[in-house]
């Protein structure tokens, strides 16, 4: 028999093992507790705190855009969106029922939006309705406790002060789609997020990274249903949880003059066309408008599919910037450069008269002048003043198309101007090599006759015409047009400053330029000039009108009334000018599609814009010229009155003698 001591000794080994295991477990637990509560205590405390917090992105305000005179053109305004965070959405049926009544939406449509966004993480908010009213905001905030997961998100939207005026130059922003986000990330080397807005056109696009700020974030304490209890500041029981403020984007000051911009836009009222005004010495763009237009604020607030379809399908293409994205046959405005080529190649002298009958025959084809009876003897000045087609037809028989190309391309034709806006097109200036590559056929002399008067293959954008005439005005320097004066931070620090840039200095004699300028002055200020009746007062502009045919026409159609033609067959009207003539400061180009004539349709636009410039920037000169123009007009009136009286007296004498 075993005694008690023997029994104890027999179990002692197992008891020691169990004891050691228990002690070991306690030691492990103590070590783990030390690790969790002391060594990692601060870190896990932070995690536990974050379970009670929700981190929300604070969108950075986009930089604002100002005119050259510091008038605010584009600013940021708050927008309110109704959102649902699926993670906290409980009592779904009851919640959606209440929300549908507040937002005046069906439960089906809300469910559809939630399903459409089901692929994203449940903690990410889903926008149910954008741009909700103040009343809807108030009701949601009041009923928040009864609708877990539903809240109002404040968003900074863009607002464009002048709406449609100049919208093509300013551009617009819109939300990045899921399908495009990778493309934009690769293009800009920037970590865009879903829900970010990006510039899609104009300055908003080309200077997006300058205007874009850096997003911040803030923490808020929430309950188990995700409802906000309070915002978390720096000094509170959640030490170590820091909010990051958003950094605003940089602001941009443009070269645009708001008054000139508005004048150009209003002058094109009821028309389809465009206008550009530039400083001839610096290339600064003072006005840049295209009509019809659109309100870019609609895109920032979230444009509807119906509205987008209406804009994109409109036959007059309101989304197209006609100043740089549409080119036209320049018509007679191109004769100026043919005249320069003819003078430089010694084909004619300035005062040499050329007989100009109503028609000119080349082979079996007859080319008609716009004036049924012709113009008679014509020199270089009259050829521009009266826009004599036959004069230029005769020049074309002696001027090689490659020589015309050589001179005209120096003034910027056939090349993009370099304006800092997207999707600019280069226009077209043909030569022999181009045609051979394009058609496989050699150049024909008859094609030169059409090109010298700005028809046929020749195409130019309004901004190209403005810069070309600015080059004549400043003595031969082709400037690069620019829209930005400077980029500066929210505290006023200048980040970038833009200076004038000479693209090319033309190899044309000053004599040739002066002769052409004299002819352009007569176009507007000579009583028989084609733009005499649209010269205005106090501006002393020199310019050229142009009528751009949209299709070839028979002799009968050529001399019929343009306004009686179907709209789509009417000629485009073009006018380009610079002022003041003695010391040019500004050049303006305008195109009116199907306006029938440059003088009647486009010249008033140019006149109005130029007058706004002179009144604002050259008031003393404007007053002086206005006085002189008034006196001259009175002199003409008295002269005409005297002639009528003399004619009436002569007629009376003849009747009495009979």
Q: pLDDT band at 215, cuts 50/70/90?
A: confident
**pLDDT range class, residue 645, cuts 50, 70, 90:** confident
Residues 6 or more apart in contact with residue 168 via CB below 8 angstroms: 201, 202, 288, 289, 290, 293, 320, 321, 322, 323
Of all residues in the chain, what percent carry a pLDDT higher than 90?
60
pLDDT at 53 exceeding the cut of 90: no
225 — pLDDT class (breaks 50, 70, 90): low
Work out the angle between the directed axes of helices 335-344 and 510-525 (0-180°, nearest 10). 150
pLDDT band at 198 (very low <50, low <70, confident <90, very high): very high
CA distance 261 to 612: 10
Which pLDDT does position 405 carry in this prediction?
Answer: 98
Map tokens 């030169």 to a residue: 448
CA angle centred on 22, ends 21 and 25, rounded to 5°:
85
- Strands 542-548, 502-505: pairing kind: unpaired
Residue 303's pLDDT band (boundaries 50, 70, 90)?
confident
Residue found by looking up tokens 């149910």 in the block: 128
Of 42-56, 161-175, 176-190, give the range with the top mean pLDDT.
161-175
Q: What is the pLDDT of residue 57?
A: 76
Average per-residue pLDDT in the chain? 89
The domain made up of 258-619 is a member of CATH 3.40.710.10: yes
The answer to whether the predicted template modeling score (pTM) of the entire model surpasses 0.75 is yes
pLDDT (average), residues 66-86: 92
Question: Mean of the pLDDT values across residues 186-195?
Answer: 85
- Residue 285 pLDDT greater than 80, yes or no: yes
Q: Which homologous superfamily is 56-254 in?
A: Penicillin-binding protein 2a (Domain 2) (3.90.1310.10)
DSSP 367-393: EEPSSTT---SB-HHHHHHTT-HHHHH
Of 10-24, 223-237, 423-437, 481-495, where does mean pLDDT reach its minimum?
223-237
Higher pLDDT, 559 or 395: 395
Residue 5 confidence (pLDDT) above 90: no
78-87, 116-125, 342-351, 415-424: segment of lowest average pLDDT: 116-125
Asked if residue 241 has pLDDT above 70, the reply is no
468: helix, strand or coil: helix
Give residue 9's pLDDT.
62
Cα distances (angstroms) measured from residue 112 to each of 107, 115, 420? 8, 5, 42
Around Cβ 328, how many Cβ atoms within 10 Å?
A: 24
pLDDT at 47: 59
pLDDT value at 46 more than 70: no
């Amino acid at each position: 028999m075993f005694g008690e001591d023997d029994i104890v000794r027999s179990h002692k080994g197992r008891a020691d093992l169990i004891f050691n295991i228990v002690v070991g477990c306690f030691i492990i637990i103590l070590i783990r507790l030390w690790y969790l509560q002391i060594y990692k205590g601060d870190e896990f405390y932070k995690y536990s705190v974050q379970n009670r917090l929700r981190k929300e992105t604070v969108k950075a305000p986009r930089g604002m855009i100002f005119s050259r005179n510091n008038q605010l053109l584009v600013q940021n305004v708050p927008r309110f969106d109704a959102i649902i965070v699926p993670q906290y959405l409980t009592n779904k049926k009851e919640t959606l029922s209440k929300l549908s009544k507040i937002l005046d939406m069906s439960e089906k449509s809300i469910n559809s939006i939630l399903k459409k966004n089901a692929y994203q993480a449940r903690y990410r908010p889903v926008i149910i309705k954008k741009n909700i009213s103040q009343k809807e905001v108030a009701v949601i905030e009041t009923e928040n406790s009864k609708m877990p997961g539903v809240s109002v998100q404040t968003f900074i939207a863009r607002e464009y002060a002048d709406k449609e005026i100049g919208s093509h130059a300013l551009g617009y922003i819109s939300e990045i789609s899921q399908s495009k986000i990778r493309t934009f990330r690769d293009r800009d080397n920037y970590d865009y997020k879903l829900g970010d807005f990006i510039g899609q056109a104009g300055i908003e696009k080309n200077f997006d990274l300058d205007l874009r700020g850096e997003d911040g974030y803030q923490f808020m304490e929430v309950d188990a249903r995700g409802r906000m209890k309070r915002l978390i500041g720096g000094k509170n029981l959640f030490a170590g949880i820091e909010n990051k403020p958003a950094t605003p984007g940089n602001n941009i000051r443009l070269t645009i003059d708001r008054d000139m911009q508005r004048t150009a836009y209003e002058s094109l009222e009821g028309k389809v066309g465009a206008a550009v005004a530039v400083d001839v010495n610096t290339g600064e763009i003072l006005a840049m408008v295209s009509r019809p237009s659109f309100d870019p604020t609609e895109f920032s607030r979230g444009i509807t599919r119906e509205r987008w379809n209406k804009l994109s399908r409109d036959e007059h293409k309101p989304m197209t910037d006609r100043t740089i994205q549409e080119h036209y046959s320049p018509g007679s405005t191109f004769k100026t450069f043919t005249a320069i080529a003819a003078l430089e190649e010694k084909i004619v002298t300035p005062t040499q008269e050329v007989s100009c009958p109503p028609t000119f025959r080349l082979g079996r084809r007859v080319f008609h002048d716009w004036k049924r009876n012709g113009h008679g003897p014509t020199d270089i000045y009259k050829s521009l003043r009266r826009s004599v087609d036959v004069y230029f037809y005769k020049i074309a028989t002696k001027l090689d198309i490659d020589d015309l190309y050589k001179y005209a391309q120096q003034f910027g034709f056939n090349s993009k101007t370099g304006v800092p806006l997207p999707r600019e097109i280069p226009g077209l200036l043909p030569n022999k090599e181009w045609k051979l590559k394009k058609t496989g056929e050699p150049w024909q002399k008859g094609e030169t006759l059409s090109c010298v008067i700005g028809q046929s293959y020749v195409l130019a954008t309004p901004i190209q015409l403005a810069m070309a005439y600015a080059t004549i005005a400043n003595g031969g320097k082709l400037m690069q047009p620019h829209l930005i004066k400077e980029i500066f931070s929210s505290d006023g620090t200048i980040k970038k400053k833009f200076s004038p840039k000479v693209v090319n200095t033309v190899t044309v004699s000053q004599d040739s330029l002066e002769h052409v300028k004299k002819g352009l002055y007569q176009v507007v200020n000579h009583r028989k000039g084609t733009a005499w009746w649209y010269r205005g007062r106090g501006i002393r502009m020199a310019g050229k009108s142009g009528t751009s045919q949209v299709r070839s026409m028979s002799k009968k159609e050529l001399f019929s009334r343009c306004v009686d033609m179907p709209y789509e067959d009417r000629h485009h009207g073009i006018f380009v000018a610079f002022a003041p003539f003695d010391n040019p400061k500004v050049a303006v180009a305008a195109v009116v599609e199907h306006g029938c004539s440059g003088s009647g349709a486009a010249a008033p636009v140019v006149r109005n814009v130029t007058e706004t410039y002179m009144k604002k920037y050259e008031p003393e000169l404007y007053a002086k010229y206005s006085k002189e123009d008034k006196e001259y007009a009175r002199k003409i009136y008295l002269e005409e009155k005297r002639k009528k009286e003399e004619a009436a007296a002569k007629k009376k004498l003849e009747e009495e003698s009979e």
